[in-house]
Amino acid sequence: MKKNNITCKRTAFIVNTRRLVVRNLTQTLPRIVSHRGWPKQILNHYNYGLLQATKKFRKWHKIWLQKKYKMAMDSRHRKQLELKILAETLFKDKKWNYGQCSSHFSFQGERLNITEKSLRATFMHTVPKEKYVYGSRVVKFDRKGYKKRSRLLILTTKTLYLNQVVKNKLKTVDKIPLIYVNKFEVTSGKDNFLLIKISSQYKQTKGDLILEIPYLIEFITKFINISKKCTLLNINRIDIGQKLTHTIKGSKSGVIELKENKSATPIIMKDKNKNLIVSG
């Protein structure tokens, strides 16, 4: 009888001790996913047959922390994080001004003023089957002569539009379905130059697009995020003799020269040889 009582008390003691250990552990477990530590209480029990159990427990706890973190993160914050990661993949150590752009501003849905937002809203009613993604005021260079034109860029889930403001309305000058965008050509410098190569299969094109976009990294990241084509981007090193060509419908190709710029301000201009110079 005494043996049974002793056995019962010993069993109760062991169960109670285990309960206390687990309860105390809840106060010392890591609170964030990035914390790589682990309570000493568990580590000290490695020699008592708990090695495999603690490995599994540690794995489950980390999964739970990750799930908790994702649930707590609002959709806007999550989207920002995804875009930042994508931008880093595309531009880090490749584009001179990536560090400044990525760390000093959040990715926005548009870079338009109040008047331009109103024009954009009206324009989107004309394309009801498309979802708005991004908008910005940009500079477009003529394919011949490279004269500068102010345009309102609107990116949707299906199409890239370049619009001219005419009598408080938007008139579409260039309309490029996203499936016909072949390549983004940019430089490794601090400029905001972008050459958009258009597929020859798109019969309505007038040729490739030559643009200067204020928030270049933001726009390209947004575009690639919806197109899911990281191979679209090609970053050209600014070097002596480096040149790009662009197509012009019904004419021979144009030439764009890339030159290193030692001054603080990038320059995009037409030179004496009638080529476009990008000095970044």
Q: 104-148, pLDDT tens digit by residue?
A: 678 888 999 999 999 999 999 999 999 999 999 999 999 999 999
Cα(178)–Cα(193) distance, integer angstroms: 19
Q: What is the DSSP letter of 207?
A: B
Average pLDDT over residues 243-264: 88
* Weakest mean pLDDT among 27-41, 144-158, 160-174: 27-41
The confidence score (pLDDT) of residue 101 equals 61
Express as a percent the part of the chain with pLDDT over 90: 51
What CA–CA distances, in Å, run from 196 to 27, 54, 235, 245? 56, 55, 12, 11
Determine phi and psi for 167, rounding to 5 degrees: 50, 50
In the chain, alpha helices (H): 2-25, 40-43, 51-72, 75-91, 98-104, 114-124, 216-227
pLDDT of residue 104: 62
pLDDT for residue 31: 65
Q: What's the pLDDT score for residue 96? A: 87
Selection from 36-50, 69-83, 136-150 with the highest mean pLDDT: 136-150
**Could you tell me the CA-to-CA distances from 119 to 26, 127, 135, 214 in Å, in that order?**
56, 13, 11, 19
199 — pLDDT class (breaks 50, 70, 90): very high
Range with lowest mean pLDDT among 20-29, 218-227, 243-252: 20-29
Q: So where are the chain's domains?
A: 28-72, 77-235
| pLDDT band at residue 39 under the 50/70/90 scheme | low
Task: Measure the CA–CA gap between 11 and 17, rounded to whole angstroms.
Answer: 10
- Return the pLDDT at 24: 63
| d(C-alpha 219, C-alpha 241), whole Å | 28
Measure the CA dihedral 226/219/168/121, to 10°. 40
Q: Kindly state the tokens that stand for 93.
A: 């150590």
Under the banding of pLDDT at 50, 70 and 90, the label for residue 49 is: low
Per-residue confidence at 64, pLDDT binned at 50, 70, 90?
confident
> Phi and psi (nearest 5°) for 21?
-60, -50
pLDDT beyond 80 at 241: no
Name the CATH architecture for the domain at 77-235: Roll (2.30)
Can you give the pLDDT at residue 263? 74
Residue 60 has pLDDT above 60, yes or no: yes
pLDDT score at 57 = 76
Give pLDDT, residue 22: 63
Q: What is the mean pLDDT of residues 77-104?
A: 83
Output the pTM of the full model.
0.74
Pairwise pLDDT comparison (200 vs 2), residue with the higher score: 200
pLDDT value at position 238?
85
93 has a pLDDT exceeding 60: yes
The mean predicted confidence, pLDDT, of the chain is 85
Average pLDDT estimate for 195-210? 95
Give the pLDDT score at 187.
Answer: 94
What is the DSSP secondary-structure string of 19-78?
Answer: HHHHHHHTTTS-SSTT-----HHHHTTGGGTTHHHHHHHHHHHHHHHHHHHHHHS-HHHH
**What pLDDT does 251 receive?**
85
